[in-house]
Amino acid sequence: MLYAFNPSFLALIIVSTLLGIATRSYINFAFRKWSEVPLRSGLTGAQVAQKVLATNGIRTDGALVGQQSGPGAPPYVRIQAIGGKLSDNYDPREKTLNLSEAVFASSSVAAAGVAAHEAGHAVQDAQGYVWGRLRTSLVPAASLGSSAGIWLVILGALLFRSLPLGYDMAMLGVILFGCAVLFQVVTLPVELDASRRALVTLEGTGTLDPEQLAGARQVLRAAALTYVAAALIAALQFLYYLGFLRRS
Does position 57 have pLDDT exceeding 50, yes or no? yes
Q: Which residue has the higher pLDDT, 13 or 132?
A: 132
**DSSP class of residue 70?**
S
All residues at 6 or more sequence positions from 154 whose CB lies less than 8 Å from its CB, including other chains: 2, 3, 173
In this structure, the strands spanning 78-82 and 96-100 are: parallel
Domain assignment of residue 180, given as a range: 7-247
State the pLDDT confidence band at 160, using cuts at 50, 70 and 90.
low
pLDDT over threshold 50, residue 174: yes
**Could you report the per-residue pLDDT of 91-113, keeping only the tens digit for each?**
998 899 999 999 999 999 999 99
Per-residue model confidence as pLDDT tens digits over 64-81: 344 444 445 556 899 999
Mark 163-188 as b/e (b = at least 16 C-beta within 10 Å). Answer: eeebeebbbebbbbbbbbbbbbbbbb
Q: What is the pLDDT of residue 111?
A: 96
Does some domain include residue 96? yes
Neighbours of 148 (CB within 10 A): 15
Q: Is 55 exposed, middle or buried (0-12, 13-18, 19+ CB in 10 A)?
A: middle
Say which amino acid occupies 26: Y
Q: How many domains does the chain have?
A: 1
Residue that wins the pLDDT comparison between 200 and 7 = 200
In a domain, 47, yes or no: yes
Tens-place pLDDT, residues 185-233: 999 999 999 999 999 999 999 999 999 999 999 999 999 999 999 999 9
Alpha-carbon gap, residue 149 to 26, rounded angstroms: 30
2 confidence band (pLDDT: 50, 70, 90): low
Whether the Cβ atoms of residue 142 and residue 245 lie closer than 8 Å to each other: no
Does residue 167 lie in a domain region?
yes
Higher pLDDT, 61 or 153: 153
Query: Residues 101-105: contacts with CB within 8 Å, 24+ apart?
Result: 102/35, 103/45, 104/44, 104/45, 104/46, 104/79, 104/80, 105/44, 105/45, 105/46, 105/81
CB-based contacts of 234, cutoff 8 Å, min separation 6: 180, 181, 184
How far apart are alpha carbons 70 and 89 in whole angstroms?
28
What pLDDT does 70 receive? 46
Q: Is residue 1 part of a domain?
A: no
Domain presence at residue 164: yes
18 or 68, which is more confident = 18
β-strand partners of 238: none
Is residue 241 one of the residues assigned to a domain? yes
| Residue 2 falls inside a structural domain | no
For residue 173, tell me if it sits in a domain: yes
Catalytic residues, by residue number, are 118
HEC string of 127-167? HCCHHHHHHHHHHHHHHHHHHHHHHHHHHHHHCCCCCCHHH
